[in-house]
């Protein structure tokens, strides 16, 4: 009876985007075009690809995308200046600073400079704090995508043991917080975790957010675990070894076609949310 489920991120993303269309139409009637500013610093080719995908996804839906590309020599102060200008620009509703920025830039300082009401990517400490306390407007997009996939497929979190592998500020930590707020019992693992496979073995839900290709193996999993792979590595592979994890799981997100497309749709949703907030405030 229990069929194995491949969690189709494209389908979830389309569902999110369909829901946005009438909302964007209403905003336009009121003379507001939702607008996202994306900032890319430097020439990392995969970052350039992600930013382009985000901008294109905006435009396909009628969201304006203002693409800012700064040279790799940009200083922290210059980046902060750009962010302040976008904060003060009333036609910009959301700001996305693509991570990672070149190592000479203070990325945390740059994230913190983004105005909370424009932090549609959930990168500020204020945004994270609100997400953790359970009343945040915009959680980071990948954590939001993971939750959205679970909701779409009626995957219950309450009372389940969720094991998150990774604790980065825009992925591991906030997804742990969201799952906790959904009444899961959450274990967050990281590079100093001892006996990772044994901890993963206890999980009903596994979130992979390690940044290492095919790191999590099928023989670490409990039979029937739900596997949510946020990993996105060169060569289109995730952070779980797909074939062996597929065999053990009851449901799994593929890469590509899993968490990635939903992440982008959540960015669009947060941008529309931000534009609506501005209209309400008028």
Ligand X SMILES: NC(=O)C1=CN([C@@H]2O[C@H](COP(=O)(O)OP(=O)(O)OC[C@H]3O[C@@H](n4cnc5c(N)ncnc54)[C@H](OP(=O)(O)O)[C@@H]3O)[C@@H](O)[C@H]2O)C=CC1
Active-site residues, by number, are: 54, 98, 121
Window 243-272: contact mask with ligand X (x via CB under 6 A): ----------------xx--x---------
Conformation bin of residue 134: beta by default, left when phi > 0, alpha when psi is -120 to 50: left
Which residue, 99, 142, 138, is CA-closest to 116?
138
Query: Which one, 180 or 237, has the nearer CB to ligand GUE?
Result: 237
From the list 110, 157, 207, 255, which residue makes contact with ligand GUE (rule: CB under 6 A)?
Answer: 255
Query: Which one, 155 or 189, has the nearer CB to ligand X?
Result: 189
* Alpha-carbon span 191 to 210, nearest angstrom: 9
Cα angle value 150/153/159 (rounded, 5°): 50
Of 7-15, 18-26, 85-93, 224-232, the segment contacting ligand X by CB under 6 A is: 224-232
* Alpha-carbon span 259 to 67, nearest angstrom: 24
Residue written as token pair 């529309």: 272
Site for ligand GUE in 162-221 (CB under 6 A): none
Distance of CA 28 to the CA centre of its chain: 27
Query: Which one, 35 or 263, has the nearer CB to ligand GUE?
Result: 263
Residue 232 binds ligand GUE (CB under 6 A): yes
**Residue 35 among known ligand-binding residues:** no
**Least distance to ligand GUE from the beta carbon of 224, Å?**
24
Query: Which one, 94 or 261, has the nearer CB to ligand GUE?
Result: 261
* Alpha-carbon span 58 to 120, nearest angstrom: 13
> In angstroms, how far is the first alpha carbon of the chain from the final one?
53
Question: If contact means CB under 5 to 8 A according to the sort of partner, which of ligand X, ligand GUE, none does residue 209 touch?
Answer: ligand X
Positive or negative, the CA dihedral 88, 62, 97, 187 is positive
* Alpha-carbon span 180 to 159, nearest angstrom: 10
Query: Which one, 9 or 34, has the nearer CB to ligand GUE?
Result: 9
Those residues whose C-beta lies under 8 Å from the C-beta of residue 251, and which sit 6 or more positions away, are 4, 5, 6, 7, 153, 155, 226, 227
Residue 268 binds ligand GUE (CB under 6 A): no
**Least distance to ligand GUE from the beta carbon of 213, Å?**
14
* Alpha-carbon span 39 to 83, nearest angstrom: 9
Question: If contact means CB under 5 to 8 A according to the sort of partner, which of ligand GUE, ligand X, none does residue 217 touch?
Answer: none
From the list 183, 191, 202, 247, which residue makes contact with ligand X (rule: CB under 6 A)?
Answer: 191
**Residue 168 among known ligand-binding residues:** yes
From the list 83, 95, 113, 141, which residue makes contact with ligand GUE (rule: CB under 6 A)?
Answer: 141
* Alpha-carbon span 114 to 188, nearest angstrom: 27
* Alpha-carbon span 70 to 43, nearest angstrom: 9
Judge whether 210 and 187 are in contact, CB under 8 Å: no
Size of the site for ligand GUE (CB under 6 A): 18
Which residues of the chain form contacts with ligand X (CB under 6 A)? 142, 165-168, 171-172, 189-193, 196, 209-212, 230-233, 239, 259-260, 263
- Residues of this chain that interact with ligand GUE (CB under 6 A) are 50, 53, 96-99, 121, 123, 141-142, 232, 255-257, 260-261, 263-264
Which residues fall in the annotated binding site for NADP(+)? 166-168
């Amino acid at each position: 009876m229990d069929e194995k489920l491949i969690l189709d991120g494209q389908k979830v993303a389309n569902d999110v985007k369909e829901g946005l269309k009438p909302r964007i139409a209403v905003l336009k009637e009121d003379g507001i075009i939702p607008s996202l500013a994306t900032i890319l610093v430097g020439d990392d080719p995969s970052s350039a690809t992600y930013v382009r995908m985000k901008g294109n996804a905006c435009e396909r839906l009628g969201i304006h995308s203002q693409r800012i590309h700064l040279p790799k020599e940009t200083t922290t102060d210059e980046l902060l200046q750009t962010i302040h200008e976008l904060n003060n620009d009333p036609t910009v509703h959301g700001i996305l600073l693509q991570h990672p920025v070149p190592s000479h830039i203070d990325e945390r300082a740059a994230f913190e400079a983004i105005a909370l009401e424009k932090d549609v990517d959930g990168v500020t400490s204020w945004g994270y704090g609100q997400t953790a306390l359970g009343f945040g407007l915009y959680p980071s997009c990948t954590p939001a995508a993971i939750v959205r996939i679970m909701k779409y497929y009626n995957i219950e979190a309450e009372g389940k043991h969720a094991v998150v592998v990774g604790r980065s500020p825009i992925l591991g930590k906030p997804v742990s917080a969201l799952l906790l707020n959904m009444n899961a019992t959450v274990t967050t693992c990281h590079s100093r975790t001892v006996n990772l496979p044994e901890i993963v073995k206890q999980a009903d839900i596994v979130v992979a957010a390690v940044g290492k290709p095919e790191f999590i193996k099928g023989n670490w999993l409990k039979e029937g675990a739900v596997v949510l792979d946020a990993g996105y590595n060169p060569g289109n592979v995730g952070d779980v070894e797909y074939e062996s994890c597929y065999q053990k799981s009851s449901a799994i997100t593929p890469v590509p076609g899993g968490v990635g497309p939903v992440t982008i749709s959540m960015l669009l949703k947060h941008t529309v949310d931000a534009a609506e907030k501005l209209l309400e405030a008028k």
